[in-house]
Amino acid sequence: MTTCVKRAFKYRFRPTEAQAAELSRTFGCVRKVYNMALAARTEAWALRHERVNYNATSAMLTAWKKSEELAFLNDVSSVPLQQSLRHLQTAFTNFFAKRAKYPRFKSRKKSRKSAEYTTSAFRFRDGKLTLAKMADPLNIVWSRPLPKEAKPSTVTVSQDSAGRWFVSLLCEDPSVKPLPATDAKVGIDAGLNHLVTLSTGEKVTNPRNERRDRAHLAKAQRDLSRKAKGDGANRAKARQRVARIHARIADRRRDMLHKLTTRLVRENQTIVIENLAVRNMMKNSRLARAISDASWSTLRSMLEYKAAWYGREVVTVDRWFPSSKLCSHCGALAAGMPLHVRTWACDNCGTTHDRDVNAAKILLAAGLAVSVCGAGVRPQRRSPGGQSATKQKTSQREP
């Protein structure tokens, strides 16, 4: 028996003034409870070497609500507050498993404004969603239909830095199931001049979303820098103008990546990509902005979860594998390959290569070897003299 995949369907909505005020209060209470629970757990460990779990913080929340100074916590739904404690427990679990850093306190200005409601705190009937403590349903812009007879298990309401309101409904999607198997396979070489180059020879243009709006962004940031620091209305408006430009850039980038990754997953059974160390590459001050705009990490994560949905395979090749310097025709290894060299000729066989297309072909060959024989397997490299690298080292050791 196969289980349905759970997907989050995100929509914009326009709250009334009363709903916006209620949600803003809820965001503030969620942040307050999270920070207080984090402080209590940190203090308990620092002073008494005592680990405080979710059940203990839940009991703390009950006591906080009964106190006079924290009585305002009773004005909002209790479910988002309990969910914030569960999120804190997950953060500590990831920390102790060495998957994440120590949890940090939520900031009023910088942290994401969100609240999560479970089934006991919302009502979804006839396409209308009503949250706890609210009389009227949310005015949601249904930009795409939910799965037939969908029953959301959780609802997350959020507001981004540009002031836009979103609601995300998590529900099972029976339409997500493995696609028919195919023999097609592709190697992908990520780049900056072209976002990706495929082993088939196709090159996908890098839209450079940030560069398109760089002038508008710079002007908005200059206007913001001229505003007096503080909580003034003019500074808040200038900050929101900057946030709207950033949001427009991010939306275009995300839309393009979704369309590209969906096409690649639908058309190919095996997809081979390189395991790039994006975090280390961002330390290059000359390329950091372009690398960030390309968003290679998001590209890879989209490929991986969509491949898991549709029964495809994503293979990653070691980042140190010299895909750009290996000849895809004879396997000879070039001595060096500076970044400015975009085409090169093999000294062994004379074949002229497009650097990116050749790298994609080599990645595909390496990835197929990995998927067949196991991780760490690489295609046999050949020296410019025609011998394989292994044979050449052996012959050099012989007297």
Residue 372 has pLDDT above 70, yes or no: no
- The residue annotated as part of the active site, out of 189, 213, 293, 318, is 189
9 in Cβ contact with 143 (< 8 Å): no
Pick 148 or 267 by higher pLDDT: 267
What is the pairing mode between strands 203-205 and 343-345?
A: unpaired
Residue 388 has pLDDT above 80, yes or no: no
| Residue 374's pLDDT band (cuts 50, 70, 90) | low
Q: What is the reported pLDDT for 136? A: 93
Q: Which residues contact 198 (CB under 8 A, 6 or more apart)?
A: 186, 187, 188, 189, 204, 360
Residue 350 has pLDDT above 80, yes or no: no
DSSP class of 399: -
343 in Cβ contact with 355 (< 8 Å): yes
| CA atoms of 345 and 338, how far apart (whole Å) | 14
318 noted as active-site residue: no
What is the pairing mode between strands 165-173 and 154-159?
A: antiparallel
The predicted model scores a pTM of: 0.83
End-to-end CA distance of the chain: 64
Pick 24 or 333 by higher pLDDT: 24
| Residue 356's pLDDT band (cuts 50, 70, 90) | confident
334 in Cβ contact with 346 (< 8 Å): yes
What is the pairing mode between strands 5-13 and 140-141?
A: antiparallel
β-sheet bridge partners, residue 141? 12
Percent of the chain topping pLDDT 70: 92
160 noted as active-site residue: no
- The residue annotated as part of the active site, out of 22, 116, 210, 274, is 274
Phi, psi of 105 (to 5 degrees): -70, 145
Q: What is the reported pLDDT for 2? A: 56
Here the tokens at position 276 are 């790039």
Average pLDDT of the residues of the chain:
88
252 in Cβ contact with 270 (< 8 Å): no
Pick 316 or 384 by higher pLDDT: 316
What is the DSSP track for 263-305?
A: HHHHH-SEEEEE---HHHHTT-TTTHHHHHHHTHHHHHHHHHH
Nearest to 22 by CA among 108, 107, 115: 115
Other residues' Cβ atoms within 10 Å of the Cβ of residue 379 = 19
189 noted as active-site residue: yes
Q: What is the reported pLDDT for 378? A: 43
Q: Which residues contact 122 (CB under 8 A, 6 or more apart)?
A: 129, 130, 131, 132, 152, 155
- Convert the pLDDT of each residue in 34-77 to its tens digit: 999 999 999 999 998 898 999 999 999 999 999 999 999 999 99
| CA atoms of 156 and 137, how far apart (whole Å) | 15
Q: What is the reported pLDDT for 32? A: 97
Element of type H or E holding 242: helix 233-267
Torsion over CA: 11, 17, 18, 24 (sign): positive
Q: What is the largest CA-CA distance in the chain?
A: 89
What is the DSSP track for 97-150?
A: TTSS----PPPTTTS-EEEEEEGGGEEEETTEEEETT-SS---EE-SSPPPTT-
Cβ burial, residue 372 (10 Å; 0-12/13-18/19+):
exposed
- Convert the pLDDT of each residue in 165-177 to its tens digit: 999 999 999 888 9
Helix axes 214-226, 233-267, angle to 10 degrees: 150
| Residue 394's pLDDT band (cuts 50, 70, 90) | very low
| Residue 298's pLDDT band (cuts 50, 70, 90) | very high
Three-state SS string over 47-99 comes to: HHCCCCCHHHHHHHHHHHHHCCCCHHHHHCCHHHHHHHHHHHHHHHHHHHCCC
Nearest to 206 by CA among 110, 282, 292: 292
